[in-house]
Amino acid sequence: MKIKQMVSMGLALVMLVTILAACSGGNSDSNAASGGASASTQAAVAPAGEFPIVKDKITLKVMTGANPAVEDFNTNEFTKYFEDLTNIHVEWEIVPSSMVAEKLNLALASGDLPDVVMMMDVTPEQQALYGQQGVLLPLNDYIEKYGVNTKKMFEESPLVKPTITSADGNIYALPAPNECYHCSMRQKMWIYQPWLDKLGLKMPTTTDEFYNVLKAFKEQDPNGNGKADEIPFSGAPAQSQGSTLTTSVENFLMNSFTYAPFTRLYVNEQDKVDVPFTKDGWKEGMKYLHKLYAEGLMDPQALTRDPAQLVQLGENPDTVILGAASGPNMSVITQLNGASGRWKEYVAVPPLKGPGGVQLTQYDPYQVAPGKFVITKEAKNPEAAFRFADALYDREITLRSTIGEPDVDWRWAEKGEIGLNGQPAVYKDMSSFGVTQNKHWSQSGIAYRPNSLRLGAVASEDNPLESILYKETKDKYEPYRVDVKSVLPPLNLTVDQSQEIADLSKTIYDYTSEMMARFIIGDADVDAEWDKYLKTLDGMNLNRYLEIYQTAYEARKAAAAQ
């Protein structure tokens, strides 16, 4: 059904409900005595899936993080469109991106809250704590009554519901699922193809071959300027444990020695939650990285650079100086669609076979993005707030909110057009990604983008990025992808578990990050200090850390079996 038809039908239904309510006004006193505020609020909301959501315009106070790709949320064209559709006006509270976590913590703790917090990553721990305290509203009943698109999402993407369900069985936050195929195997390496071509080198397939390529980059002047200014390999440290940025130097290469997903947690062959940084393969990987560092094949600043500095290195204005770096796509080292055009010249390195025969691709099928939309206890009309959220999951509305205007920034696919996956296409993207604009929210609102939509984009030579990333991932990484049984699903912990994990994880990951850096630069000898390193981790209660996750993992499996 077209949106306009839905709007007119919705108006008629709302008027009918209002007339019927007025005719039965004799029951108003008894309603008030038994929770009449809730009943009257529900009566003001149109039936599930109908628009506008409310007959008389209401205001929804929404707090969200700033987005440099959006000029002004108040005057944004999608904001206006969605207000006309829903009859809900948004009063925005925009938080500077550098202050999002701090502001969220302060608002939840102080109770100085808007109606809705959107796209500020409310963690499972915060959901458990503040849901238990009544600060965040459980959404289960709203999903059951009004969740037309939410329930469709649960059906098409069965990993979503168990991922967002808290340990107490409630859903306190809605997600923004983005089933990005190439992102599900994000631990990639990018290498500058023109340097390989100039030096007559083949794409490396083993860690030894990669070492030889880096050595050639350092010694044979591939940029041709007569200077020894080439940086064969660089990176930027992960911003936190489990960071999805995956630009740190070990993130790709360690999977040639032992399975080491960026989350640093996985399920071993005994179906137990495990970590890679205690394994013999991790020790051997540290030796390999130290060799690169000691021989000047790794950028000495790779352990301290921030992500912006890594891009500056890749976009060095005079000549290309960076040979390779790891990351989910070329944007970690170049400007996508930038004037230099270098983003097309960095190509993916397939998983390298290590000396012990290990050759793995990390895999994360849980592209759920939880914690993106919560309704707080301050919401005057939580039913309308939920319907506002549910509407954002509609396919057309998702495309409008993330890409822009139909038939201008995108259009539905025509007969015969083929998607990225070789199947009939769903839509054609005609927009420019990453530019500042005022047509859409640029992923600052929840949306639902399953594989059927993402891979349904028309493969276009004019806009080849997604096609390139799909092909590189399909051809080079999927053949080495680990079994899904090795992937630890997102786990929802109890309040007590969350508090204990927070203390343990900080101690453990601060130490492992420190020792990784020391092993790489040679400040600590990995052979001489390995046993001491393992004993220190034992003293930091690593076993208890894994035990908590194992308990939560068993609980998730039990719930899934019901």
Model pLDDT for residues 108-158, shown as the tens digit of each residue: 999 999 999 999 999 998 999 999 999 999 999 999 999 999 999 999 999
- In the sheet that holds 58-65, the strands lie side by side as 88-95, 58-65, 116-118, 373-375
Return the sign of the alpha-carbon dihedral for residues 273, 279, 281, 285: positive
Phi, psi of 174 (to 5 degrees): -90, 150
Q: What percent of the chain has a predicted confidence (pLDDT) above 70?
A: 91
Give the closest residue to 203 by CA, choosing from 215, 211, 193, 216: 193
| Single-letter amino acid, residue 437 | Q
Q: How far from chain centre, in Å, is Cα 118?
A: 15
pLDDT at 336: 84
What does the alpha-carbon distance between residue 69 and residue 72 come to, in Å, rounded to a whole number?
Answer: 9
What does the alpha-carbon distance between residue 152 and residue 408 come to, in Å, rounded to a whole number?
Answer: 28
SS (H, E, C) 161-175: HHHHCCCCCCCCCEC
What does the alpha-carbon distance between residue 450 and residue 155 come to, in Å, rounded to a whole number?
Answer: 11
Model pLDDT for residues 345-366, shown as the tens digit of each residue: 999 999 999 999 999 999 999 9
Q: Which tokens sit at 243?
A: 């960071």
**Residue 80 CB-half CA count within 13 A:** 8
Structural Rg of the chain based on CA atoms: 26
| Average pLDDT, integer, range 193-216 | 98
| Average pLDDT, integer, range 222-236 | 97
Largest Cα separation within the chain, whole Å, is: 92
Q: What is the DSSP string of 344-390?
A: GTEEEEPPPB-TTS---B---------S-EEEBTT-S-HHHHHHHHH
Q: How far from chain centre, in Å, is Cα 324?
A: 24
Please give the angle made by the CA atoms of 497, 498 and 504, to the nearest 5 degrees.
90
Give the closest residue to 254 by CA, choosing from 239, 240, 238, 270: 238
8 pLDDT band, cuts 50/70/90, is: very low
| Single-letter amino acid, residue 405 | E
Model pLDDT for residues 359-407, shown as the tens digit of each residue: 999 999 999 999 999 999 999 999 999 999 999 999 999 999 999 999 9
267 pLDDT band, cuts 50/70/90, is: very high
pLDDT at 374: 98
What does the alpha-carbon distance between residue 388 and residue 13 come to, in Å, rounded to a whole number?
Answer: 18
Please name the residue ranges forming H helices in 199-306. Answer: 207-219, 250-253, 280-294
Has residue 503 got a pLDDT over 70?
yes
Q: Which tokens sit at 249?
A: 């130097």
Model pLDDT for residues 173-200, shown as the tens digit of each residue: 999 999 999 999 999 999 999 999 999 9
Least confident of 34-48, 89-103, 315-329: 34-48
Tokens 């927009």, located at residue: 431
pLDDT at 391: 98
Q: What percent of the chain has a predicted confidence (pLDDT) above 90?
A: 81
CATH topology of domain 183-349: D-Maltodextrin-Binding Protein; domain 2 (3.40.190)
Model pLDDT for residues 458-473, shown as the tens digit of each residue: 998 877 888 999 999 9
What does the alpha-carbon distance between residue 320 and residue 83 come to, in Å, rounded to a whole number?
Answer: 48
Has residue 441 got a pLDDT over 80?
yes
Return the sign of the alpha-carbon dihedral for residues 453, 458, 459, 460: negative
pLDDT at 502: 87
pLDDT at 239: 64
| Mean of the per-residue pLDDT values of the chain | 90
pLDDT at 31: 31
pLDDT at 196: 98
Domain ranges of the chain: 183-349, 495-561
Is the separation of the CB atoms in 213 and 201 below 8 Å?
yes
Return the sign of the alpha-carbon dihedral for residues 71, 73, 78, 84: negative
Model pLDDT for residues 11-61, shown as the tens digit of each residue: 343 333 333 333 333 333 333 322 333 433 444 899 999 999 999 999 999
Model pLDDT for residues 510-555, shown as the tens digit of each residue: 999 999 999 999 999 999 999 999 999 999 999 999 999 999 999 9
What does the alpha-carbon distance between residue 428 and residue 412 come to, in Å, rounded to a whole number?
Answer: 6
Has residue 289 got a pLDDT over 80?
yes
What does the alpha-carbon distance between residue 345 and residue 327 come to, in Å, rounded to a whole number?
Answer: 15
Give the closest residue to 194 by CA, choosing from 159, 170, 161, 222: 222
Please give the angle made by the CA atoms of 178, 181 and 186, to the nearest 5 degrees.
95
Tokens 């929210």, located at residue: 441
What does the alpha-carbon distance between residue 54 and residue 391 come to, in Å, rounded to a whole number?
Answer: 13
pTM: 0.82
Give the closest residue to 366 by CA, choosing from 187, 184, 176, 243: 184
